[in-house]
């Protein structure tokens, strides 16, 4: 087997409780490199500007973990929300998909 980076995500699908419109929700996703080469998180794609992701750009060494913090600003959305963040990396299994759901109560 060739040396490769393999990402494993603890809780790739998360939910948040009901929040009021205007709140910012923060969700933590722990990514572990279960491969044999360093995992490099390169960039991410989101469905709208209401969602962003922060992470350390240092390589995740084999056997180590890093946390990706996804922020969701609810000022322009309401009711049921179902969002996806795609992390682009050298993960041998392709893009890393992070998903979250929740409900935003209108003011």
CATH fold, domain 7-105, is Immunoglobulin-like (2.60.40)
Model pTM?
A: 0.94
* Residue spans per domain, the chain: 7-105
Contact of 64 with 38, CB cutoff 8 Å: no
End-to-end CA separation in angstroms for the chain: 55
- % of the chain surpassing 90 pLDDT: 93
Span 35-60, pLDDT tens digits: 999 999 999 999 889 999 999 999 99
DSSP H or E run through 78:
none
pLDDT, tens only, 15-40? 998 999 999 999 999 999 999 999 99
């Amino acid at each position: 087997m060739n040396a490769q980076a393999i990402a494993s995500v603890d809780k790739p699908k998360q939910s948040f409780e009901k929040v009021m419109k205007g709140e910012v929700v923060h969700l933590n996703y722990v990514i572990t490199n279960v491969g044999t080469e360093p995992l490099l998180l390169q960039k991410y794609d989101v469905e709208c500007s209401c969602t962003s992701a922060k992470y350390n750009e240092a390589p995740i060494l084999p056997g180590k973990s890093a946390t990706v913090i996804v922020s969701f600003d609810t000022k322009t959305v309401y009711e049921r929300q179902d969002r996806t963040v795609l992390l682009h990396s050298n993960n041998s299994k392709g893009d890393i998909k992070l998903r979250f759901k929740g409900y935003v109560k209108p003011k």
